Structure 1
């Protein structure tokens, strides 16, 4: 196994020291530049010169390190025609490229939106960026990025492995509510219900595997249509036959509005610089050099 370069520090031309998983500005030489002044990327690993074996005969890394593998970020305007006024907003991407270390210009900071407590203060500081979505350049589609800790609708063993390896989960927007909901177990077999194989009763709100109901469902109900389980369907038929009147919920009495004046504000709270420094130096989990796991 190749020795890790995670503890290796490289000094850039401007004096910044960077290591693996730091974020940097990358800018090729003028002769090969495409007009973009700079791009933002995360350092994945440092590599020796092209053609040089990664390891020598003693199993040590051959040096010097002259190349770097970068995981790119996109600007929203790079991938679509929509106008985004926030110049600090980026799109993460599962796309990497090997470049010369000489193309690295300076260090910057990129973290997920949910990890920033004061976004306005974060954007006022230089070299700070954030992201909340991911762009797949191969299929040209955007996905939501949520923290792995917010995913609860998973079996315990799967969730523990997910949290130990990855910082974020990537999924389609419509799938996110299913992932972040409480753990869903089948009311029939009491085993976990994966969202693609699950139906929910409109009356009792219980979840079922599509094959655990009688008769089994071959497909989910079409959009706009509901489904009820057998006991609820039977109960509804009995109510209709006996002309039962549905129970009316007790109306909620609104609380009287207070006539007291609103408390006077004392201006903006003082910014916690220690919290900001803690956020920009936060450790992010990576598995095989990536912090993302697709769960769509």
Structure 2
């Protein structure tokens, strides 16, 4: 346990056993070194135990008590140093991984030096009673401590029309259109899943609406690229009215944005398509979306 943890890994309804690596020869963890030069050991820092790994060293635990279609948070404190177990020096890199019930999630750790909390949110995708979590060092040396896996309490918004607008269920409910060159995929931004698009890659979802009513699409967006360049866009389309769209400029940071759309007052217009898109190839931009929400305007 690090000096910063204050027994956090032992509480908070933690599903991980011995997340502080206190137990000598713990049967809960499997330490593995894939080569003769690998490091995968229980170590100490000022008397506090933690897991230390280098050069394909890893720690794995199979965690029980998992329920289907449930949102979880996996967090761990990490610290890195350049000195590897073979005596060479490289920037510390590694990853934490979650596998089980059709879920395969890998969150890469880079530029880790002082103790820092790493966190990833995900949803279990099918009926499974357990998940396998792994902490793996690639280059340099990585220390891991205070492992926490806990269920998140969710509040269902009855007014929300979109499904999986936080992308915690990854690609579910959205139709994805990756370009021949470019991306349309789920990306982990500091452990938070979001949608990433480049080179006109896009994703769409259709919802039922009422003719003549106005709807508000709210979202968080980050467009990375040259200053002043045009990034992706959002657009809302229904049968007879055409498209309401908004083009997005480079922000290089997350901002909140929104767009309104009024459904044409015809009985045929009961479906609205919401689309998220990246910029053109020539723009040199990448567009990220998260917290996408569609509601009836009051």
TM-score normalised to structure 1 length: 0.21
Query: More helix per residue: 1 or 2?
Result: 1
Query: More strand per residue: 1 or 2?
Result: 2
Q: Which of the two has higher C-alpha Rg?
A: 1
TM-score normalised to structure 2 length: 0.20
